[in-house]
Amino acid sequence: MTGVTLFTRAQDSDKWSPSPMSLVGRRPCASDIIWQEGGPLMDYYVQAEVEVGGVKKALTSSLEAPARFCTVTLL
């Protein structure tokens, strides 16, 4: 894995904001989020850059991101 990025946006916004993630321990990744948008709902997805057989690829979670993504309620 060459890099992991967390993409966030206010729900229903068109603009995604990238935040680099860092490896924590053996497998989990973490990122600090400074939420300055209005509203309690945040959409997000994660993109990992990997190299397979000398070819760089971008993998996302969810697989169809950014068309499909997760939403979290911020408290």
- Tell me which amino acid residue 33 is: I
Give the pLDDT band (50/70/90) at residue 9.
very high
- pLDDT attached to residue 19: 93
- pLDDT attached to residue 1: 65
Task: Report whether 52 contacts 1 (CB < 8 A).
Answer: no
What six digits make up the tokens of 6? 């967390």
- Segments making up each domain of the chain, as ranges: 3-73
Full-model pTM: 0.84
Q: Which residue has the tokens 């057989």?
A: 53
- pLDDT attached to residue 34: 76
Summarize pLDDT for 18-71 with one digit per residue, the tens. 999 998 877 788 988 877 766 789 999 999 999 989 999 999 998 999 999 999
